């Protein structure tokens, strides 16, 4: 299959299509050992050797997955400090993917993964107003007027004001209030900062939906490949076509990742023991 070079780079997760065009114009991209600066250049995904800054770029079929992220792991592919990452729950995934955006260490819920660079960039762009919904447990009870402020916009610690949001109190017998909050933006730690600006502390945060992808049917720690219908709806929501092949077969139930993580922990313990004996 032949596709335009900038699309190839984008689908490989190198950069957005526009940024990839800049790389080509700057002479940073070579095809079969020849520097290419023409944006109309097409490459064969099966046979051509493409490199950026001397590093080989490998083309994979698009892949899309979702994890119901547990708390106690970081949203990263690897961690230099050796902490658990979300990738520890993606056992047996057939290709390389990266998380789309992030959830904090103690946050739970829907986290998407893909190697589709174009889709990932659009999902995180404020241009498309993609909704993300959260269940949020606050310490104590929230005043009605503060719910109204959250709906209209909260002035944060850096002086910026959040965009209007959907905010409601969930029915609960707890002495602490639960809110359901739907945002169309993604400032760093936004919900925590909104709560703190009004004098509240977030005790628990779960993302229950990212666009059309929800946590329903996924236990904490479960992961699975998205279905064809889910991928097509997700791409359509950010102005992309549905001309991608989706198998929808891979899954990693939490029992599988738990066994893997226990085995890894045991190996690390054995390695530490050997190192100490030396």
Domain containing 243 — which CATH number? 3.30.70.580
Asked if residue 111 and residue 75 are part of one domain, the reply reads: yes
- The length of the chain, given as a count of residues: 278
Dihedral angle, C-alpha 75, 79, 84, 88, nearest 10 °: 70
Q: Which residue has the tokens 């241009």?
A: 127
Asked if residue 192 and residue 78 are part of one domain, the reply reads: no
Domain membership flag for residue 126: no
Query: Does 263 have pLDDT greater than 90?
Result: no
CB atoms within 10 A of CB 222: 20
The pTM score is 0.78
- The pLDDT value given to residue 45: 80
How high does pLDDT run on average in the chain? Answer: 89
Domain containing 146 — which CATH number? 3.30.70.1560
53 belongs to the catalytic site: no
Residue 121 DSSP SS3 = helix
Domain membership flag for residue 268: no
Domain containing 36 — which CATH number? 3.10.290.10
- Quote the domain boundaries for residue 86: 61-115+217-257
Domain membership flag for residue 276: no
Asked if residue 198 and residue 143 are part of one domain, the reply reads: yes
Domain membership flag for residue 106: yes
Question: Of 104, 168, 222, 272, which one is the catalytic site residue?
Answer: 104
The count of structural domains within the chain is 3
CA distance 166 to 178: 14
Asked if residue 83 and residue 152 are part of one domain, the reply reads: no
* Per-residue pLDDT tens digits for 111-128: 999 988 788 888 988 888
Asked if residue 225 and residue 174 are part of one domain, the reply reads: no
Asked if residue 76 and residue 35 are part of one domain, the reply reads: no
């Amino acid at each position: 299959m032949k596709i335009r070079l900038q699309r190839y780079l984008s689908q490989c997760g190198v950069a957005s299509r526009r940024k990839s065009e800049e790389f080509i114009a700057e002479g940073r991209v070579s095809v079969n050992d020849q520097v290419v600066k023409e944006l109309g250049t097409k490459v064969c995904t099966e046979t051509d050797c493409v490199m950026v800054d001397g590093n080989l770029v490998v083309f994979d079929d698009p892949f899309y997955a979702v994890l119901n992220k547990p708390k106690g792991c970081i949203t990263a592919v690897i961690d230099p400090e050796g902490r658990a990452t979300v990738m520890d729950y993606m056992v047996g995934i057939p290709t390389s993917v990266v998380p789309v955006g992030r959830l904090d260490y103690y946050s739970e819920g829907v986290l998407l993964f893909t190697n589709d660079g174009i889709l990932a960039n659009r999902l995180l762009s404020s241009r498309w107003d993609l909704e993300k919904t959260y269940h949020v447990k606050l310490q104590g009870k929230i005043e009605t007027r503060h719910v109204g402020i959250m709906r209209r916009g909260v002035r944060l610690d850096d002086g910026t004001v959040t965009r209007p949001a959907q905010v409601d109190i969930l029915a609960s017998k707890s002495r602490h209030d639960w809110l359901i909050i739907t945002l169309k933006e993604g400032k760093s730690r936004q919900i925590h900062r909104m709560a703190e600006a009004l004098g509240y502390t977030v005790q628990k945060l779960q993302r229950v939906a990212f666009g059309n992808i929800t946590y329903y049917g996924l236990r904490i720690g479960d992961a699975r490949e998205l279905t064809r219908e889910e991928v097509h709806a997700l791409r359509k929501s950010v102005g992309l076509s549905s001309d991608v092949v989706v198998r929808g077969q891979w899954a990693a139930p939490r029992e599988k990742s738990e066994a893997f993580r226990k085995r890894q922990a045991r190996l690390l313990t054995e390695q530490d023991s050997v190192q100490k004996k030396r």
